[in-house]
Structure 1
Amino acid sequence: MTTAKKTETTTETAETTETAETAGGAKAAKKPSTTTSLVWQRRRASVARFWKQYRTHRAGLYGLAALALIALLAVTAPLTVGADVQSVTEAPGTALEPPSAEFPLGTDQFGRSLLGLLIWGARISLLVGLLAAALSVAIGTVVGIIAGHYGGWFSTVVMRITDWFLVMPTLVLAIVLATVMSRSMWTVVLAIGVTSWPTTARLVRAQTIAVESRPYIERATALGGGHGHVMSRHVLPNVMPLVLAQTTLCISTAILTEATLAFLGLGDPTVVSWGGMLQDAREAGAVSSGHWWYLAPPGLAIALVALAFTLCGRAVEAVLNPKLGVGR
């Protein structure tokens, strides 16, 4: 009897231990999931707070609404106007017709609808602007964080190179790159991106120096955090708000630069863009002949998009930096 009781007690103890281990394993399995859900919950709350503050900036809402409308037209261009609008041989109208019921914005020198070309050209202009701004901000962010983190003679050398790019006219450097390379959309993106990063680099470097002076950076270093860990896990998240605001401001500059390069004949001749439309209008003599409907639409579109991105950028900057929110 005693042996049987001991056996039963041992069995119950083993079952209890197994149950505890299973429960512990379940808790360990649930812990990462709980942590992940908590992170996403905080992110959603942060986005909600950002949008709540952004809505208080009326100019930013106007800019966002304009960008949403233009982006919608650009995305749906293949359905609304079709790719045939770019064809020179299948043009439905005659050359340089003034605005009419059939062609609300008139036609170009080949008889193509300027309204259709304007909508289709938004695809290239917006795409080049976004990609060039992303490349420029990415280069500036990397250079700024590295220079601000390491400091010393390395930072001095990097900043002197940055100053050289900063004092050189960005448009001139972009023209040189676009001239020596093949004429394509990617050449324009590269030319704009590698010449317009210095401003972002200086801003990010200053913010990096401010972040690295905080106590938790010193604690992370004391606990064994390396250079890569500190820059990627501590510095980069703290400079991202500045990077986001700078990106929205850089897009308008990139679009204007792309339009200038296309107007000078350095863009991709196989695609339709707003700058390319201005170049075609100049070659067709629209200025001297008084065909204003050929010049005005692409010029106004470029100005509208640049203004919309600037309004959004200022609103984002004011939300992320409350000190700037006084002049809504």
Structure 2
Amino acid sequence: MTGTQADIRHPRPSQLPASGAVRAESAKPPPFNAFRRFVRGFLARPSGVAGVAILFAFAVLALVAPAFIGPAQLDVTKVSGPLLAPPSAHYLLGTDESGRSVLALAIWGARASLSVGVIATALTVILGSTIGLLAGHYQGWLGAVLMHVTDWFIALPSLPLAISLSAVLGQGSASITIAIAVTSWTSTARLVRAQTLAVEARPFVERARALGASNSQIVVRQVLPNVMPLILVSSTLTVASAILSEATLTFLGLGDPTSVSWGSMLDSAFSRGAVTAEAWWYLLTPGVAILIVVLGFTLTGRAVEHVLNPRMVK
């Protein structure tokens, strides 16, 4: 018997994988392995890491803001700073028309802007994903009605509709959140419907249907896990547009006048004479904050999309 034949029939110990490595690899469940591959692929994209770092920094600032910003620093009746003062050692980003620190207002405004953007995105994704899944799975009269409703909302101009809803519901963060969700779910619904149709054409869904799986079981166990990556990417990118919509509606005076947000800062700067007084720091700070946060969500969403869809051009 030659050496090659002996190696084929009886592999050498060095050719066999270590038993401990086999046990460790087999002990890890498939979801853990998929998550580890996702993290490894995400960390390999510097733009995505930069986006997460930006979002993490703003989230930490928003969470710890009450620890170093008190109500007296935001109350126009209690502050005593100079009016529309330029940046200095005491006021790093200057002051507003009431003598409040623009830096404190920007940090505090992140709480309202981020919360409205995240909550509106959650409502948008839930509504759009539900309609998309139902329209893709039930392709009869129910799917046709849902898609006609979706097309009707797409035909309506989103900004005037959001303004009308906010005006009808009244000023406040809740009305803006509802208005954003009602006018932003259509793109998610169409994407999820298209992906649902593609998934249900695969053999494993036909096999599950042949084995007697109900409609709810097919949607929850077969379709939803395969559509979830698309929903994750869509939600990440939707937050950016939701924050822009919140700033737009608040800038138009539809937000809570007693709440501080980046949109309300822009509204106050334009309506209280910051432009004529050449107080560029009052206008630039909230605008740059919105730009950076939107950039962070966009970079994160694009990185997630590249990792979950390897066929995209890198």
TM over 0.5: yes
Aligned residue number for residue 217 of structure 2 = 229
For the residues of structure 1 that align with 2:87 and 2:311, how far apart are their CA atoms?
48
Letter in 2 for 1:158: L
For the residues of structure 2 that align with 1:305 and 1:39, how far apart are their CA atoms?
40
Letter in 2 for 1:318: H
Cα drift, residue 87 of structure 1: 1.0
Letter in 1 for 2:165: L
Cα drift, residue 152 of structure 1: 2.8
Aligned residue number for residue 173 of structure 2 = 185
> What TM-score, normalized by structure 1, do the two folds share?
0.85
Instruction: Give yes or no for the alignment of 1:263 onto 2:251.
Output: yes
Q: Cα gap change, 1:83/1:233 in structure 2, threshold over 3 Å: closer, same or farther?
A: farther
Q: Note the residue ranges of structure 1 that are not aligned, 5 or more in a row.
A: 1-37
For the residues of structure 1 that align with 2:230 and 2:219, how far apart are their CA atoms?
15
> Which of residues 84, 90, 99 is equivalent to 2:87?
99
Deviates more, 1:86-95 or 1:310-319: 86-95
Cα drift, residue 287 of structure 1: 1.5
Letter in 1 for 2:207: R
SS of 1:255's equivalent? helix
> What TM-score, normalized by structure 2, do the two folds share?
0.89
Superposed, 1:163-182 pairs within 5 Å as 163-182=151-170
Instruction: Give yes or no for the alignment of 1:56 onto 2:44.
Output: yes
For the residues of structure 1 that align with 2:157 and 2:73, how far apart are their CA atoms?
36
Superposed, 1:224-303 pairs within 5 Å as 224-303=212-291
Letter in 1 for 2:201: S
Q: Cα gap change, 1:212/1:281 in structure 2, threshold over 3 Å: closer, same or farther?
A: same
Letter in 1 for 2:154: L
Aligned residue number for residue 102 of structure 2 = 114
Q: Cα gap change, 1:296/1:44 in structure 2, threshold over 3 Å: closer, same or farther?
A: same
Aligned residue number for residue 135 of structure 2 = 147
The alignment yields a C-alpha RMSD, in angstroms, of 1.4
Counting matched residue pairs gives 289
Cα drift, residue 230 of structure 1: 1.0
Deviates more, 1:136-145 or 1:152-161: 152-161
Higher gyration radius (CA): 1
Aligned residue number for residue 159 of structure 1 = 147
Q: Cα gap change, 1:229/1:40 in structure 2, threshold over 3 Å: closer, same or farther?
A: farther
Instruction: Give yes or no for the alignment of 1:80 onto 2:64.
Output: no
For the residues of structure 2 that align with 1:110 and 1:40, how far apart are their CA atoms?
59
For the residues of structure 1 that align with 2:182 and 2:133, how far apart are their CA atoms?
17
Aligned residue number for residue 300 of structure 2 = 312
Letter in 1 for 2:66: P
Q: Note the residue ranges of structure 2 that are not aligned, 5 or more in a row.
A: 1-25
Instruction: Give yes or no for the alignment of 1:322 onto 2:301.
Output: no
Q: Once the two structures are aligned, what percentage of the paired residues are identical?
A: 52
Letter in 1 for 2:141: W
Q: Cα gap change, 1:135/1:40 in structure 2, threshold over 3 Å: closer, same or farther?
A: farther
Aligned residue number for residue 14 of structure 1 = none
For the residues of structure 2 that align with 1:270 and 1:240, how far apart are their CA atoms?
38
